[in-house]
Structure 1
Amino acid sequence: MTQGAASRSGALPGELLMWVLIVSELLVFGAGLAAFLGVRITDPAGFAEAQDHLHRTAAALNTIVLVTSGYLAARALERREAGRRGAARWHLVVAMALGVVFVVIKGWEYADAAAQGIDFETHSFFLFYYMLTGFHAAHVLAGIVVLGLVAIWDDARHIETGAAFWHMVDLVWVLLFPVIYLLA
């Protein structure tokens, strides 16, 4: 079933078990963000001061990187449905490469924070920062693997399922970025 057919029939795109995973992961990230915001209320000045140690430009660049990657994953499905397997794989490979770029930038952020002596115990802000962004980075790495697998088994349904996971990773970052890096 193609993406268009799935949306016209009202069925979820991809596989049901992937949607169970996606919803459960969104609930976990949502709980983490709620806890972050709840603790932030108790120390807004301390959170603001801690936040000033982050690299907002790098995080904004990572947002562009992930959104672009998600766009390419969606285009891969379109290419595969049009019978253009090579183009679909190319889009998936570039989406994966952008995932690697995201991880490299995030690693640079972590290394810089470590060089400043910032760790989990520096302030509760950083405990949440490392937990939420680290858990997200683990999902980016998992997503790179998923995209690699669907590039190999490039059936449209597999690409649709892998792209759904990748879009969840995008969505989580689009929520994490403003809350962690920009919320004043």
Structure 2
Amino acid sequence: MRVVVAESTTARRLPGVDGLWVFIGADAVIFGILFLSFMQDRLHNPAMFEASRRTLNMNLGGIDTLILLTSSWAVALAIQAIKRDLFDRAPRYLLGGVLTGLMFVGSKSFEYFQKFAHGITPATDAFYMWYFTLTGIHLIHVVAGTGLLAYLWLGARRAAYTSSHRVLPECVASFWHLVDLLWIVLFPLLYLMRAA
């Protein structure tokens, strides 16, 4: 007896375009190198890194995490709405992504201002040099991603994206999910993992 398996007529593909995945891969490698460098510096002075880590506002870092996870969820819902040609839903979900992106920027700015008000700067010690470097580069990604989401939101309000015209939204969503993934690594690395 022979079993015949039907082949799928639609090839599976990564969302977006190939060049985007090269960018995402390169960005992930750069952050990976930065993470490893941070951990190496932490090994050389665990007491100082631990003392500085304890001065971070863990609750605010947790709120930032929830904000970005919510944002990622909203963007995923927007992409699903675009794939299904649900023109009334996609703009709402994208607006949710924009607003939560802005919330993260506001929260991180507040945290920076708190640190500066207490005299804590990148020059304070090696931990804070890494903290401001890693979160600052990430924040630049969030600002860029939020701007891209706002651009998508404007297009979605005009029904510019459809199930057959969704490459740009998929590219932006993939970048946005990278931004969230980077924070999911940054939050425990900076806020939760004890150095000593």
Quote the residue 1:14 is aligned against: 16
How many residues in Structure 1 have an aligned counterpart in Structure 2? Answer: 177
Greater C-alpha radius of gyration:
2
1:44: Cα distance to partner? 0.7
1:161: Cα distance to partner? 1.2
In 2, the alpha carbon distance for the partners of 1:166 and 1:38 equals 28
In 2, the alpha carbon distance for the partners of 1:131 and 1:181 equals 15
Task: In structure 2, give the amino acid aligned to 1:74.
Answer: A
1:54: Cα distance to partner? 0.7
Quote the residue 2:193 is aligned against: 183
**Structure 1 vs Structure 2 CA RMSD:** 1.1
Quote the residue 1:58 is aligned against: 60
Quote the residue 1:166 is aligned against: 176
1:147: Cα distance to partner? 1.1
TM-score by length of 2: 0.87
1:157: Cα distance to partner? 2.1
Deviations 1:6-29 (A, max 9, x none): xx6232111112111111111111
Specify which of 91, 94, 101 is matched with residue 92 of structure 1: 94
1:17-96 matches, cutoff 5 A: 17-96=19-98
In 1, the alpha carbon distance for the partners of 2:25 and 2:99 equals 26
Gaps of at least 5 residues in structure 2 are 1-9
Deviations 1:34-74 (A, max 9, x none): 11000000011100000111111001000000011001101
Specify which of 66, 83, 108 is matched with residue 106 of structure 1: 108
Specify which of 117, 120, 128 is matched with residue 118 of structure 1: 120
Task: In structure 1, give the amino acid aligned to 2:84.
Answer: A
1:131: Cα distance to partner? 0.3
In 2, the alpha carbon distance for the partners of 1:9 and 1:49 equals 52
1:139: Cα distance to partner? 0.2
Q: Which has the higher helix share?
A: 1
Task: In structure 1, give the amino acid aligned to 2:85.
Answer: G
TM-score by length of 1: 0.93
Helix, strand or coil: the match of 1:153? Answer: helix
In 1, the alpha carbon distance for the partners of 2:151 and 2:51 equals 42
Runs of 4+ in 1 over 6 A off after TM superposition: none
Quote the residue 2:144 is aligned against: 142
